[in-house]
Amino acid sequence: MASSVRSIGWTPPPNWPAMSRAECRERLTAPGGRFEMEDIVIAGVPTRVWKNAPANLRIVAMAGKAHGDREFLVYEGERVTYDAWFRAVAVLAHELRAKGVRKGDRVALAMRNLPEWPVAFFAAVTIGAICVPLNAWWTGEELAYGLQDSGTRLLICDAERWERIAPFRSQCPALETVFVSRADTMPAGTNALETVIGETRDYGSLEQDTLPEVEIDPDDDATIFYTSGTTGRPKGALGTHRNLCTNILSSAYNAAFAVLRRGESLPEPTPRTSLTVIPLFHVTACSAGLMGSIVAGNTLIFMHKWDPVEAFGIIEREKVNLTGGVPTIAWQLIEHPERAKYDLSSIEAVAYGGAPAAPELVRRIYEEFGALPGNGWGMTETMATVTGHSGEDYLNRPESCGPPVAVADLKITGEDGVTELPPGEIGELWARGPMVVKGYWGKPEASAETFVDGWVRTGDLAWLDEEGWCYIADRAKDMIIRGGENIYSSEVENVLYDHPAVTDAALIGLPHKQLGEEPAAVVHLGPGMSASEDELREWVAARLARFKVPVRIVFTSETLPRNANGKILKRDLASLF
């Protein structure tokens, strides 16, 4: 594989980089420094960890409390300080204990990005419970599966999510207690979250400001984030306190790395204001974003629903420094005709992950938006950050997702899953480090296939250059990423197969400038059977989240092409569109 093509016409400034990757790493991880490392054993595997990472999420919450009256959460007209947030966390944590929630019990969280989300999350994890953030875009049946599979005892959700879940409550036998937020009238069999913590304006007057006592070790269970697998059923990635706390220093390390490469001195940490537009139920927003923001004292602004013009107004009014999330957001900010009407000069960086980005986007963020671009690579199974890429390094290698952080290792293996390939050769990407989750909840066989001696087999095809920068060549072949949302082909295909007229089906991704990809299906109908494109799209929409519905469906008179093993040759199908 040739070295990265300078496809965006960017010329490195003189004397850049000021330090090699190895020199940056040596300086940043020096003994006594913030990013010092140490070797420990986790589950029998020697592991390199950040020595100064918080030991657990209770300590992260206490770090947030220390920011006092600094604004933490902004949502429409609501504003919550760090002190007020912590008081709400403490009150809700005591209430969860009163409801019988103990260490290791599952507390699910299903709501849009609201100020209540970080309250509920930390109320659960600071008492040793396992928080299960469910995808707020899922259908009622999908949400119920997450509750049932995780064995959730207590659910905290908004009214919209409960409306979807309620018809399926009988499928969740372990679910004892439900708290619903922002309901006009309280649904039967539920409790109003506001009766415990009040509305956001009340948080600051809550008297409780201490957490229930509980011992939490770094490698205790903390979260179950659901990802999808090739079987079509979601799998819960079981994360630890160490996994989430690792991200705090990994994100800071990447920022410091870019500064040293530029030849500048490391600045004193300064709180920033961030427009958070990706859902907190993703590890990108929760682990890579929320955790570090609390320690840094950042202000997070949430939107009820993404709208570029509304975002412009927020950026101008609140002097937002950071935004992004997925490439879709960055494209819309750049290309919207209303952009020139707003003062967006406060923006310092536009960073994203979760989907492939065109090199052109990197250039346009830098040239037109006047901000430094940033991205990184990770997955649910790595609790987000493994690599980081920002500023001049990203402009210099726009096709790369960056090098691994100092506590992480990457390797590329051949088809045998054993042979490690040299730089420049494409194979399966494996990752290792303290951010890798324990495994899949309740699925030992799937865990054994994916997690091997501390490594996670990513299923992504990638290559590394001589300096260790990673390039994703192709993702797991059955996955489509639409605007940062994962769509696993088999899940949609199985729904299509359930239609009485369908005898063969395959889902592929069609390129889309802003979303990265959109799902499209190729279908073969049984003899004498009939079905229209609209009928099949409505069939899928009734059973899966809207973002998974194929935007186009084409019909073929022949069964779909397969290889000798019976697998559909999906690359042959793109020409049909």
Shared domain for 43 and 175, answered yes or no, is no
Domain of residue 429, CATH code: 3.40.50.12780
Contacts for 430 with CB less than 8 Å, ≥ 6 apart: 410, 411, 412, 413, 452, 455, 456, 457, 458
High-pLDDT (> 90) share of the chain, %: 78
How far is residue 492's CA from residue 485's CA, in Å, rounded to a whole number? Answer: 14
* CA distance readout (Å), 13 to 18, 263, 392, 393, 395: 10, 11, 9, 11, 11
Shared domain for 467 and 519, answered yes or no, is no
- Residue 378 placed within a domain: yes
Q: Which helix (H) or strand (E) holds 82?
A: helix 82-98
| Rounded (10°) angle between helices 533-541 and 489-498 | 110
- Backbone phi, then psi, for 301, in 5-degree steps? -110, 125
Q: Which residue has the tokens 């990706």?
A: 278
The closest of 48, 47, 46, 51 to 31, measured between CA atoms, is: 51
pLDDT score recorded for residue 1 = 44
Shared domain for 248 and 368, answered yes or no, is yes
Identify the three-state secondary structure at position 387: strand
Shared domain for 442 and 503, answered yes or no, is no
Contacts for 312 with CB less than 8 Å, ≥ 6 apart: 333, 336, 338, 339, 341, 342, 344
Domain of residue 534, CATH code: 3.30.300.30
pLDDT score recorded for residue 354 = 63
Domain of residue 81, CATH code: 3.40.50.980
Identify the three-state secondary structure at position 402: strand
- Residue 223 placed within a domain: no
pLDDT score recorded for residue 2 = 40
Longest dimension (CA), the chain: 75
Range of the domain at 448: 21-53+237-474
- Backbone phi, then psi, for 469, in 5-degree steps? -70, 140
pLDDT score recorded for residue 363 = 87
pTM of the model: 0.88
Could you tell me the end-to-end alpha-carbon distance of the chain, in angstroms, rounded to an integer? 29
141-158 burial: b if 16+ Cβ within 10 Å, else e: ebbbbbbebbbbbbbbbb
Q: How many CB atoms lie within 10 A of CB 167?
A: 11
32-42 burial: b if 16+ Cβ within 10 Å, else e: eebbebeeeeb
How far is residue 300's CA from residue 535's CA, in Å, rounded to a whole number? Answer: 42
- Residue 61 placed within a domain: yes
- Residue 540 placed within a domain: yes
Q: Which of 474, 506, 527 is the last residue of a domain?
A: 474
Enumerate the H helices of 319-443 as residue ranges: 327-335, 359-368, 391-396
pLDDT score recorded for residue 461 = 84
Q: Which of 216, 246, 273 is the last residue of a domain?
A: 216
Helix-then-strand count for the chain, H and E: 17, 28
Tokens of 117: 């989300």
Q: Which helix (H) or strand (E) holds 244?
A: helix 241-262
pLDDT score recorded for residue 232 = 63
Burial of 275 (0-12, 13-18, 19+ CB in 10 A): buried
Shared domain for 449 and 490, answered yes or no, is no
pLDDT in tens, 251-304: 999 999 999 999 999 999 899 999 999 899 999 999 999 999 999 999 999 999
Shared domain for 331 and 446, answered yes or no, is yes
- Backbone phi, then psi, for 554, in 5-degree steps? -115, 150
Shared domain for 327 and 468, answered yes or no, is yes
Q: Which residue has the tokens 């590394």?
A: 464
Shared domain for 450 and 485, answered yes or no, is no
Task: Give 94-109 as a DSSP string.
Answer: HHHHHTT--TT-EEEE
Q: Which of 407, 441, 474 is the last residue of a domain?
A: 474
Shared domain for 257 and 401, answered yes or no, is yes
- Residue 244 placed within a domain: yes
pLDDT score recorded for residue 390 = 93
pLDDT in tens, 515-525: 989 999 999 99
pLDDT score recorded for residue 567 = 60
- Residue 5 placed within a domain: no
- The angle formed by the CA atoms of residues 234, 521 and 352, to the nearest 5 degrees, is 55
- Residue 222 placed within a domain: no
- Residue 377 placed within a domain: yes
Query: Based on the structure, what is the number of domains in the chain?
Result: 3
Shared domain for 174 and 41, answered yes or no, is no
| pLDDT tens for the chain, residues 1 to 577 | 444 444 578 889 999 999 999 999 999 999 999 999 999 999 999 999 999 999 999 999 999 999 999 999 999 999 999 999 999 999 999 999 999 999 999 999 999 999 999 999 999 999 999 999 999 999 999 999 999 999 999 999 999 999 999 999 999 999 999 999 999 999 999 999 999 999 999 999 999 999 999 999 999 999 999 986 444 678 999 999 999 999 999 999 999 999 999 999 999 989 999 999 989 999 999 999 999 999 999 999 999 999 999 999 999 999 999 998 877 788 888 888 899 999 999 999 999 876 667 777 888 899 888 899 999 999 999 999 999 999 999 999 988 999 999 999 999 999 888 999 999 998 899 999 999 999 999 999 999 999 999 999 998 888 999 999 999 876 656 678 899 888 878 788 878 988 989 888 899 999 998 898 999 999 999 888 899 999 999 999 999 999 999 999 999 998 888 754 456 788 789 889 9
- The angle formed by the CA atoms of residues 152, 158 and 160, to the nearest 5 degrees, is 110
Kindly compute the dihedral angle of the four CA atoms of residues 527, 529, 535, 536, in this order, to the nearest 10 degrees: -30
Shared domain for 320 and 368, answered yes or no, is yes
Q: In one letter, which amino acid is 385?
A: T
Antiparallel, parallel or unpaired: β 154-158 and 106-110: parallel
Shared domain for 442 and 300, answered yes or no, is yes
